[in-house]
Amino acid sequence: MSTPRTTTAPNPKIIIGVVVGALVLAAIAVFATADGGDDDVSSGDPDAPLEYGVVTASGTALPGLPDSGDDPAVGTLAPSIVSERVDGQTRLEPGPGGEPTMVVFLAHWCPHCQAEVPRLVELDQAGVFDDIRVVNVLTATTPERDNYPPSAWLDREGMPGDRLFDDAESTVASNYGLSGLPFLVFLDADGQVVQRVSGEQPAGVIEDAVDAITG
């Protein structure tokens, strides 16, 4: 029978020395950073008003966008949304007699949304959105995360369109079946879903979708 291999006995002096060294380093770090301010990159402006809306949704919620295959939401009427804030309200009320609409779901902290917005701004400057309404839904808003507040971000970028603030529970996003960010929903003049896409999109895809809802 073999004897299990064992490790050599520990040296208490070394263990105590390392622990004391770690505690001293930690203490120095605590004192050194005591007045160092908040270096947290994910923090936003703590004094900014929370950018949520009080959301009222009506109509039938759209199913989630599947990863592949046909989108079951195509051809169905999109739900109506009213988002109220102290400074007013934004209404998204798809229905007959309306106008073609591109609904853009964005999160301020999402790097793919940050990459998509300049592309949308370029398309707007090229006149692609002249004949449609653009509604930017600011969703998944989290003050503790990077690039907060989202309205200041869109101001900086010069993003066109109305702004609709989602609530903390992402009610608007869940009503439109959001699966990833950014998320674009194209509605025709009757308020029916023509196309939904998730993730960054090349300009050509967006132009084709706009043609489809205005054509």
Nearer to other proteins, 81 or 192 (CB): 81
Q: Applying CB under 8 A, does 204 fall inside the site for other proteins?
A: no
Degrees to nearest 5, angle at CA 117 with 177 and 94: 40
Q: Provide, rounded to whole angstroms, the least separation between the CB of residue 115 and other proteins.
A: 7
Listed ranges 52-60, 76-84, 85-93, 104-112: which one lies at the site for other proteins (CB under 8 A) = 104-112
Listed ranges 35-43, 93-101, 148-156, 203-211: which one lies at the site for other proteins (CB under 8 A) = 35-43
Q: Applying CB under 8 A, does 213 fall inside the site for other proteins?
A: no
Query: Which member of 83, 141, 151, 170 binds other proteins (CB under 8 A)?
Result: 170
144 three-class SS:
coil
Listed ranges 50-58, 70-78, 123-131, 138-146: which one lies at the site for other proteins (CB under 8 A) = 138-146
Q: Provide, rounded to whole angstroms, the least separation between the CB of residue 19 and other proteins.
A: 7
Chain centroid to Cα 131, Å, comes to 25
User: Is-cis flag, bond preceding 46, omega within 30?
Assistant: no
Q: 């079951």: which residue's tokens?
A: 72
Contacts of 139 (CB under 8 A, 6+ apart): 105, 106, 107, 166, 170, 172, 173, 178, 181
Distance in angstroms (rounded) separating the CA atoms of residues 118 and 105: 14
Q: Provide, rounded to whole angstroms, the least separation between the CB of residue 155 and other proteins.
A: 21
Is the Cβ–Cβ distance between 184 and 209 less than 8 Å? Answer: yes
Q: 């988002």: which residue's tokens?
A: 83
Nearer to other proteins, 98 or 180 (CB): 180
Query: Which member of 109, 129, 148, 153 binds other proteins (CB under 8 A)?
Result: 109
Query: Which member of 73, 113, 137, 185 binds other proteins (CB under 8 A)?
Result: 113
Listed ranges 95-103, 149-157, 171-179, 187-195: which one lies at the site for other proteins (CB under 8 A) = 171-179
| CA-based nearest residue to 59, from 165, 191, 206 | 191
Question: Residue 13 phi/psi, 5° resolution?
Answer: -60, -40
* Residues contacting other proteins: total by CB under 8 A: 56
Q: Applying CB under 8 A, does 46 fall inside the site for other proteins?
A: yes
Q: Applying CB under 8 A, does 112 fall inside the site for other proteins?
A: yes
Chain centroid to Cα 211, Å, comes to 25
Is the Cβ–Cβ distance between 188 and 165 less than 8 Å? Answer: no
Which residues contribute to the site for other proteins (CB under 8 A)? Answer: 2-11, 14-15, 18-19, 21-22, 25-26, 28-30, 32-34, 36-43, 46, 107, 109-113, 115, 139-140, 144-146, 170, 173, 178-183, 198-200
